[in-house]
Structure 1
């Protein structure tokens, strides 16, 4: 049963029993489910905002009341996966962030004040990520996901310096291949581990890390160029037959 539900990415619906043969795939499963929910509400902007607020509030309430930490993966009431809750919270925070960033961008031209906000916000994010004490506290986790990250995204989108910096070709390339990296990095780790005895250097060496990074980015680039980008083009062309969806997908 576990194999079949993971094969179709439905393990985070509460159907999975026992151990997973591919633990990290939980995140792909929740993305699949959350995007289906998103697709239902994408037609009307106002309905999407209301739905986002309801889903954020519901997820937040359950997380605070029953989970206590965004990193915990367990089941509530015997069927509700907490991974789905935290993904729902973060995803729809992102939806509202995108709406707000676009609204601010339409009403204001880019200015350096937003760069100052970015410059002041980034150290707080880095400190949170570096501190194992703080980043395990639910209050700080929610503040970072619900407030700090949206603030950074909005300030970068409406500033000048950081926006230009992130527009540099090497960084946009990393952005292009990032989803492929996300999907492939763990299987590549397993592959390397399987052949570790044949490597000319230990796995914990700098050489191994460098080879791993080159391998992941190279394969991800090929996947993006020959699969992901053509698939995106194909889907967009098909969506032209559904104007109300195509307008949102552009």
Structure 2
């Protein structure tokens, strides 16, 4: 799971590299991420639902709503707050000291800063994406996490009914507006409903995996084929197709769950995904997701300040940027994520589930 999260996070970096820098080096290799890498955020939501259902929906933890919310804040907030402040300072320098336009995200005022502080920056209250823009998914996932943690304090049958109703309503909104949309429904951002669909798909997948799949002997070879096929279908769709409401939804509801189950049960897939470098990248994947835009902003700020034309079209520059992102993420993980969790988490809590799973996690 960590390795899958890592690969998805790096794919999102590729998506934002192309969309923010206006360049696409190594197009034959990275075309899926350049064209529709935003769908990898939905993979995070599905994986997050799977992981959080496993961690929280049990007799030991489901009733501890306040402690569970505190755990999620401890896991998500320290790095979010830090990158928010860093981006705010750099955007201020860019606009007020260098007399340049804001980089990519323009709604960087006190109103949107307050929304970001409260993790409400993608709920429908905002005017648009702001500050550390990729954190929109941290906002929507946090809101959905709260709803999920509140629901599982109820009797299991009642909780299932509440979550099913929430899924049905969200699915209806997505079928109407599309998965990727800036519209509102009932005054709420479409991305909230998008997150609900992906997250509860992951929750349902965990329920099936825990209660039904053990009764079926899934052969490792079949699981490997299923995982590879799901990955290939996703990559081909992103590289060749145009986003469409139903197709996007099928990717989320079929491809991503198949990939997760195949990765768990496939022998070859398991060996590949447990390679130490991939596991480490998974460990710092939340940091990769949240630091890559501040690093982009820093590169842009340097180019404006020193009048340097950056070679964004260079494959070497892209590779260097990815390695720099990983290095910065490693530092952020050790100096911000880990100490932040220790500071905010409750004593003797269980291991915190990953976000973005933003991410997210």
| TM-score using structure 2 length | 0.59
CA RMSD of aligned residues (A): 2.8
Q: 2:128 & 2:223 partners in 1: Cα distance? A: 48
Q: Deviations over 1:150-194 (max 9, x none)?
A: 111112112211011101111111111111111111111111111
Q: Which residue of 1 aligns with 2:163?
A: 52
Q: 1:209 & 1:138 partners in 2: Cα distance? A: 31
Q: Which residue of 1 aligns with 2:202?
A: 94
Q: Once the 2 structures are TM-superposed, how far is the Cα of residue 38 of structure 1 from its aligned partner?
A: 2.0
Q: Which residue of 1 aligns with 2:276?
A: 169
Change (3 A) 1:178 1:153: same
Change (3 A) 1:98 1:30: same
Q: 1:103 & 1:164 partners in 2: Cα distance? A: 25
Q: Once the 2 structures are TM-superposed, how far is the Cα of residue 235 of structure 1 from its aligned partner?
A: 6.3
Unaligned runs of 5+ in 2: 1-110, 355-361
Q: Once the 2 structures are TM-superposed, how far is the Cα of residue 46 of structure 1 from its aligned partner?
A: 4.9
Change (3 A) 1:20 1:224: closer
Check if 1:119 corresponds to 2:228. yes
- Contact 1:70/1:141, CA 8 A, preserved across alignment: yes
Larger proportion of helix = 1
- Contact 2:284/2:329, CA 8 A, preserved across alignment: yes
SS of 1:114's equivalent in the other structure is helix
Q: Which moved more, 1:199-208 or 1:112-121?
A: 199-208
Check if 1:5 corresponds to 2:115. yes
Q: 5 Å matches for 1:183-194? A: 183-194=290-301
Q: Once the 2 structures are TM-superposed, how far is the Cα of residue 209 of structure 1 from its aligned partner?
A: 1.4
- Which fold has the larger relative contact order, with Cα–Cα distance below 8 Å and residues 6 or more apart in sequence? 2
Q: Which residue of 2 aligns with 1:139?
A: 246
Check if 1:28 corresponds to 2:135. no
Query: Could you tell me which of 291, 303, 311 is aligned with 1:196?
Result: 303
- Contact 2:221/2:266, CA 8 A, preserved across alignment: yes
Q: 2:353 & 2:113 partners in 1: Cα distance? A: 32
Q: Which residue of 2 aligns with 1:219?
A: 328
- Contact 1:76/1:82, CA 8 A, preserved across alignment: yes
Check if 1:64 corresponds to 2:175. yes
| TM-score using structure 1 length | 0.83
- Aligned residue pair count: 240
Q: 1:231 & 1:74 partners in 2: Cα distance? A: 35
SS of 1:13's equivalent in the other structure is coil
